[in-house]
Amino acid sequence: MPVAELNGVRIGYDLHGDGDLVLLVMGTGSPGRVWNLHQVPSLVEAGYRAVTIDNRGIARSELGSGELTIDHLVGDAVALIDHLGGGPASVIGTSLGARVVQELLLARPDLVSQAVLMAAHARLDPVQRALSAGERALHDLGTTLPPRYRAAVTALHNLSPSTRADENAIKDWLDVFELSGAGADAGTRAQLALAEFPDRLEAYRAITVPTLVIGFADDQMIPPRLSREVADAVGSARYVEVEDCGHYGYLERPAQVNELILEFFAEL
């Protein structure tokens, strides 16, 4: 579990396999090891060198001083690619991680050979912004929700109706969510504040790196219409929508998601 000094802060990462480099960037509040469940083994088996990063404030990574910005996360991704020998690398991001990758494609296209964006978005709608503001308020008030209740809310927000309808499977999901934490810590709180940002759709029209955008049909956190917007704006992008999965589609339908990623990488 290596840690590197990048841009003045300690950033945790994990490296697996050999071959061409693939950087995977997680969403709000999630450590990079979430990718180890399904995506990393698939990439390593296909002959890639997969690196997962703990975004600032999460797990082994320091938050740093001052207000967290998306540019900090982009800069850390750039520094990690350079730390591992430089690009171009393939890059995968989901949710907040997709935003990081989108901004990376604008700032340093020379470092990226191809990109996969899951739950991509150039803006958030009022409900999503209100939900993020509410999560921040709970943290600021010191409110801790009962673990089982928080697990149920997490399931409603992030899993598809088809997954929730499987009563045996959903019990396992609820157990995982209940054990995963009681709420937002300081790092997650800082990342939640990144939900307040201006519409970036016009800026993303300048992206030229080959890009695959994957939307999740039942995603309530980042509805697939927002992901399709990004794909339509990026001239080099292709859009694919995966059925019967929500915001955690890469965990609900990993075989299908992994197949899409590997087929896209193989084409290029």
Catalytic residue (one of 72, 121, 139, 247) = 247
Give me the amino acid identity at 79.
A
Round to whole Å and give the CA distance between 223 and 99. 15
The answer to whether 28 and 191 are in contact (CB under 8 A) is yes
Strand partners, 91: 23, 115
Active site includes 95?
A: yes
Q: Is the dihedral of CA 81, 85, 86, 91 positive or negative?
A: negative
Burial group, residue 109, by CB count within 10 angstroms (0-12, 13-18, 19+): middle
Round to whole Å and give the CA distance between 214 and 223. 11
Q: What number of CA atoms fall less than 13 Å from residue 128's CA on the CB side?
A: 20
Round to whole Å and give the CA distance between 231 and 97. 16
Cα 234 to chain centroid, rounded? 19
Catalytic residue (one of 30, 61, 95, 160) = 95
Active site includes 76?
A: no
The answer to whether 128 and 221 are in contact (CB under 8 A) is yes
Nearest residue to 118 (alpha-carbon basis) of 141, 102, 137, 130: 102
Active site includes 227?
A: no
Catalytic residue (one of 54, 76, 218, 219) = 219
Give the active site residues. Answer: 95, 219, 247
